[in-house]
Amino acid sequence: MQQSLTDSASYDEYKAGRVKRRVFIKRPQLYFMLGLVLIDLVSVWLGYFAGYTILDRMLPDNELGPFSEFWRLPLVHSLALIAIFFIQRMYQRRRPVAHLDEFFKVIL
């Protein structure tokens, strides 16, 4: 007699253990989300620093303070950006989408 894998006792134990776990997000999804957040934060701070550097080179000496005096503005912008993106669920993928489909959606 052939037995199905889903009828075994070990599968029932596995299924019961899966139901008990309260994991809202899977590990790869979490890494993907953290990667997006990190990229956004680095982009904002690099953008502010690049803007500061360009402005510092164009203005005469002693008209612009050091970048450490302006850290509050990119901090507030970063926090607002991350909060808005989380509220709009831009860091969560709704379903697995093929990369080719996503590429054509962006292009078209």
d(CA 73, CA 87): 21
* Best mean pLDDT range from 27-31, 40-44, 59-63, 99-103: 40-44
Domains in the chain: boundaries: 26-107
Residues 6+ apart with CB under 8 A from 81: 40, 44
pTM: 0.65
Nearest CA among 51, 45, 52 for reference residue 82? 45
Which phi and psi angles does 66 have, rounded to 5°?
A: -70, 160
Q: What is the tens place of the pLDDT at every residue in 1-49?
A: 455 555 566 666 666 666 666 667 778 788 888 999 999 999 999 999 9
